[in-house]
Structure 1
Amino acid sequence: MTAASEGAAALLEDWLTHQRVLRGSRPLTIEAYRRDVAGFLGFLNLHRGGPAGLSALGTVTHSDMRAWMARERERGLSARSLARGLSAVKGFFRWLAEHRAVEAPAVHAMRGPRLRQRLPRPIAREAASALLDSAELQHPEAWIAARDRAVLTLLYGSGLRISEALGLPRGTGVLPDVLRITGKGGKERLVPVLPVARAAVSEYLRLCPHDPGATGPLFLGARGGQLNPRTIQKLMEVCRAQLGLPATATPHALRHSFATALLEAGGDLRAIQSLLGHASLSTTQVYTSVDQARLMEIYASAHPKGGG
């Protein structure tokens, strides 16, 4: 991949700083932005046969954009990854327009590839319960077993992202009835904590031999440092293999299960959106499709076949 010109690279770093400091974007998001936009800028250098400096960025054409997207597809990029890359490029050019007075209408007018909607794959209630039980049996040390159950119970009972759960501070050692969560983009939301989740966390803390202090992380690794998300992901891999669950049974699927349970209980979409921390209602509305798909499966299995 051809590198971006020095001037364009400096602009990219300025934009990434803006995203990190003012927009609150997370490190993994920043790295994805860097990769996508640097790839686009490097392509421009190659495609145009010269450095894509500030003035050149204002002259990007529809032809340039189509050539970039075609090149990305040729090298095997999926439609979803290409759409993500285009979104990052548009975000960079919006920043250029606002902070460097560089307008590039062709970039903003470019439409992304059509995407097939991917429905969330929630875990059924019985399977989720079995997962919690199985997680507690995977480690011989009682405090780690209790920790694992507490993490998964919190994901399932409060709909937290794994990064949000593992980012919780130790605090007073007792979870409050309501958590104040800082999610994507630095947005805050209030999430109720079920008694079963509070009890699971309390049991873990009672057994935990490490004390990182009130400002340290709530969930700790075996040596007392902050728990790595990969540890919980590997735990889920082991549990689902033992229980015969599909590969879609991930920590994030527990969040989907939380949302689906709320919808099935008659929860209001706006309220569910607030609890999940979705920026757009359309993101939450995908769960109505999940609910309808489940109803159709039930109908199909119960409906008499043939005859009449």
Structure 2
Amino acid sequence: MKKFILLCVSILFLATIASGCSSGSTDSSEKEKVKQENKALKSKQKELEETNKKLKEKVENSEKHSNNNEKSSQNDTQEKTYKPGTTDRIPVELAGTVDGDTAKFIYNGSQQSFRFLLIDTPETKHPRLGKQPFGQEASDRTKELLTNANKIEVEFDVGGQTDKYQRYLAYIYVDGKMLNEILVREGLAKVAYVYPPNTRYLDQLESAQEKAKEEKLGIWSLGSAFEDNQASTQQPTTEQPSSSNTQSSNGAGSATTQTPNNTSQNAGSEYYPNCTALRKVYPNGVPSTHPAYNAKLDRDKDNFACEAN
């Protein structure tokens, strides 16, 4: 009986030991599994961190490249702004219109006045000339074209970029078309203020003017309207010159210098019928002490005839 009891106790003892070993083995296996899972998670987390780092670097490089391109573009625009003698067209924004041949644009970050090169429109509120025929039509047309344009650009010529009033002198483009030429072609402006070397599109504008004349458009439709408009810049050639006309040239072009028998006492010894003829010999105009000075060509009565406007 004792032996049987001892045998049972031994069997129970061995069973307990076996159960403990089995449980220990299971716990060890689970711990190893958890350990492997944690290791895999850490590896995955590290991969994600590396990916995020690369994405961040890519975004930063992209922004840096974009900023560099923007700065480069701004530098290019600034270079174009100050680059004389090219055909570069510089984008501007409309700030307002003044009359038919003058407008204000946002240029170089500030509002600036621009006078349209090589043309003149009838006056609308001149202190001496008052309101001229087709002056309002020219002003309205300029406002219409500039206001409705999707893109406005300015182009400088090879000479001086500003006049004595500190207005910029330029060719103006509305959606790729030259506004100066549109006004001339429609008979709302005439070719004027021709000061070499700012004559890049003189032939083009004169051709447009001839067509407007032929079709009697705008200022060319009525002789009186045209003559009134001309009076501010040109002396009507109604006087008969004497037979002793002389020719003179200074290399910038030639013009006939006339000495009429009945010249005005305000005219010098050299006679020019208008500013266009005078400027071919004296591109910058002449003071009152000059032999070619004529008070009738001094439109603003500042003792300087046919100066840049």
TM-score by length of 2: 0.22
TM-score by length of 1: 0.22
Going by fraction, where is helix more abundant, 1 or 2? 1
Which structure is richer in relative contact order (CA contacts within 8 A, separation 6 or more)?
A: 1
Higher strand share goes to which structure? 2
